[in-house]
Copies of this chain bind each other. A is one copy, B any other.
Amino acid sequence: MTWTDTTLSRLRETTGRSGGARRLVVELLGRQDCCLSAQEIHDSLRDAGGRVGTASVYRALDGMDELGLVQRVDLGDGVARYEPVHDEGHHHHHLVCDDCGKVEPFEDPGLESAIERVAGGRGYSVAAHDVVLRGACEDCRQHRD
């Protein structure tokens, strides 16, 4: 069962209907392994010949976000990005290079457990957490010298 299939059926059973635009968005996202902005999704679908409206892209993303099928990623540049949640409870975070803009995913169990420890110690029930590390990637550090 691929993420694309799971997602389509989860969406369908939630809303009762299924439409073409939403399916296109899901199928495109299913082919990614890191985040994509709504604009990028929209452009990509248009380039492929689809007649998809901006609003439909945002609606699809919003719906998936509420169901936890997609993770909203905020890298601080004023653009929301989204990526498929392939495995529940097994997500990743992002390293962003300030020089070249490259975005790399990473995951780290030590970081996860540190976060859980913080939340638990403060009576918080944490539904989501974002970690963004910003700096210079290895390539850019070498070029700079």
B127, A129: Cβ atoms closer than 8 Å? no
How many identical subunits does the complex contain?
2
Q: Using Cβ atoms and an 8 Å threshold, which residues of chain B touch A74?
A: 74, 76
How big is the A interface, by class?
20 to 34
A126 contacts across to B, CB distance below 8 A: 95, 133-135
State A128–B122 Cα separation when bound (angstroms).
24
Decide: B123 and A127 in contact? CB cutoff 8 A.
no
Q: Hey, which chain B residues are within 8 Å of A138, CB to CB?
A: 122-124
- Which stretch in A7-15, A23-31, A37-45, A110-118 binds the other chain? A110-118
User: Do B130 and A131 touch across chains, with their CB atoms under 8 A apart?
Assistant: yes
User: A135 to B114, Cβ gap below 8 A?
Assistant: no
Chain A contacts with B in 119-145, Cβ cutoff 8 A? 119, 122-138, 141
List 9 extra interface pairs beyond A123-B138, A124-B133, CB under 8 A: A95-B126, A111-B115, A115-B133, A119-B135, A124-B137, A126-B133, A126-B134, A127-B135, A128-B133
